[in-house]
């Protein structure tokens, strides 16, 4: 544990001690793809945990031991149901009993790509109703620099409690990577930046007991900015290879082979891979939090906005490539039977947030295609904020494949038998280079 940087009063000292000896009670607000892995890490560290969510169906599932996030595993959910150290609840007054409250709620974009902080503000207002002396509040949701200090703190200060003396406020961004082996919440280093040294000290005391490594920064704003940098770095590099894919395809060059060749260089290069568009709750959204904040500060982010334009154009490029491939088979896209393989935003998970598959399916339907999909992890296409698709996953077998004019691979789940696709499909449009795993494909394969 690093030396303390702030001078603590008795309220702070008592909370710091409870966090260090893990007798403090921790509440997690938002029991989704970020909140539940955090619950698991807190429980594993020995903390008693409250799980708060407004969605009664999630609370019922947790009380009944029913899984609703695939990659966490059924054992995790069944273990929660019988654990007297975990209390799932929809009653916000239960938050008053917590010593630390961690906010893990969505931060989507509005219709004009402006930050939508309604979930963060709503959660903060709820916490303010029960805030008491000796509590730590931490925001984990991705947001623009200044949110913790300028948006949350005034709401909590309105209770009459003093930040840094009566209650403590910090920002520690989530770094979840769903479905990736070895990257559990407890294994990923944690950034911690508070509103003042004492708040940072207390937040560090919490996370040091939960994760393998913590990194202290000088302010909440630094931590907020670092999280945005992490995701902007990926968004910009993915945009670069997506643009390169379009350029090289026009030259008859395979971008996947080019990336593999460049990857042989042992320094100065990191491989990024093209795809049908960006998905997940971070990379398609977070860069625009900074572009909005930059405009408010009177500056521009041309590089980030250009990357956004390239990435958001990829679903249209995929549909155009699919239409062109069908034309080569002398088949109109209007009336063509197209099977989409994989609708999750990344492989081997059941997360469909911001998945480009939704826009691609809707574009295909608009052009008159008869669309079906197969995804081993998503049985029914869920309702999304911007999309409403009434489809259920079909069985993947030889008969299904032979009945399609085109198979369009959008997510390369490991559970899919691509050799079966190679043997029985007529035409495959592959956005993930998944067919490179097969041999002697009878299908005509078009990379997109």
Chain center to CA of 51: 19
User: What tokens appear for 329 in the block?
Assistant: 């088979």
Catalytic residue numbers?
Answer: 282
- Contacts of residue 370, Cβ cutoff 8 Å, sequence gap at least 6: 335, 336, 337, 338
Exposed, middle or buried: residue 408 (CB in 10 Å: 0-12, 13-18, 19+)?
buried
What 367-370 contacts at long range (C-beta under 8 Å, 24+ apart), as own/partner pairs, is 367/319, 367/323, 367/333, 367/334, 368/332, 368/333, 368/334, 368/335, 368/336, 369/333, 369/334, 369/335, 369/336, 369/337, 369/338, 370/335, 370/336, 370/337, 370/338
- Contacts of residue 313, Cβ cutoff 8 Å, sequence gap at least 6: none
Q: Which H helix or E strand runs over 328?
A: helix 302-328
What single DSSP character describes residue 122?
Answer: H
- Contacts of residue 260, Cβ cutoff 8 Å, sequence gap at least 6: none
**Nearest-angstrom CA–CA distance, 433 and 424:** 18
């Amino acid at each position: 544990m690093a030396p303390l940087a702030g001078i603590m009063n008795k309220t702070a000292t008592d909370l710091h001690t409870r966090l260090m000896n893990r007798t403090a009670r921790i509440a997690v607000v938002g029991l989704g793809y970020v909140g539940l892995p955090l619950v698991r890490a807190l429980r594993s560290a020995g903390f008693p945990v409250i799980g708060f969510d407004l969605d009664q169906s999630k609370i019922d599932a947790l009380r009944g031991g029913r899984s609703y996030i695939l990659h966490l595993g059924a054992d995790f959910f069944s273990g929660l149901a019988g654990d007297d150290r975990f209390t799932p609840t929809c009653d916000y007054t239960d938050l008053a009993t917590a010593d630390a409250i961690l906010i893990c709620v969505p931060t989507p974009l509005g219709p004009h790509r402006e930050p939508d902080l309604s979930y963060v503000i709503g959660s903060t207002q709820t916490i303010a109703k029960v805030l008491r002396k000796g509590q730590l509040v931490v925001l984990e949701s991705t947001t623009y620099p200044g949110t913790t200090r300028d948006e949350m703190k005034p709401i909590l200060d309105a209770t009459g409690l003093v930040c840094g003396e009566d209650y403590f406020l910090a920002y520690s961004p989530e770094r979840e990577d769903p479905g990736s082996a070895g990257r559990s919440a407890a294994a990923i280093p944690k950034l911690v930046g508070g509103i003042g040294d004492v708040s940072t000290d207390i937040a560090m005391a919490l996370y040091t007991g939960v994760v393998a490594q913590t990194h202290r920064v000088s302010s909440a704003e630094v931590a907020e900015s670092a999280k945005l940098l992490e995701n902007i770095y990926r968004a910009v590099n993915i945009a670069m290879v997506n643009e390169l894919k379009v350029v090289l395809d026009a030259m008859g060059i395979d971008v996947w082979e080019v990336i593999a060749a460049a990857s042989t260089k042992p320094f100065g290069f990191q491989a990024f891979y093209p795809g049908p568009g960006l998905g997940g709750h971070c990379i398609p959204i977070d860069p625009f939090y900074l572009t909005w904040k930059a405009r408010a500060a009177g500056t521009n982010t041309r590089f980030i906005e250009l990357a956004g334009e390239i990435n958001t154009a990829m679903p249209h490029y995929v549909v155009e490539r699919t239409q062109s491939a069908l034309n080569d088979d002398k088949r109109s896209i209007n009336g063509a039977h197209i099977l989409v393989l994989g609708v999750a935003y990344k492989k081997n998970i059941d997360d469909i947030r911001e998945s480009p598959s939704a826009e691609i399916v809707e574009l295909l339907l608009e052009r008159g295609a008869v669309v079906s999909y197969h995804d081993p992890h998503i049985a029914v296409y869920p309702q999304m904020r911007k999309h409403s698709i009434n489809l259920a996953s079909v069985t993947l077998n030889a008969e299904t494949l032979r009945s399609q004019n085109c198979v369009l691979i959008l997510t390369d789940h490991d559970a899919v038998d691509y050799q079966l696709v190679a043997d029985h499909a007529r035409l495959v449009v592959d956005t993930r280079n998944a067919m490179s795993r097969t041999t002697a494909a009878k299908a005509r394969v078009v990379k997109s």
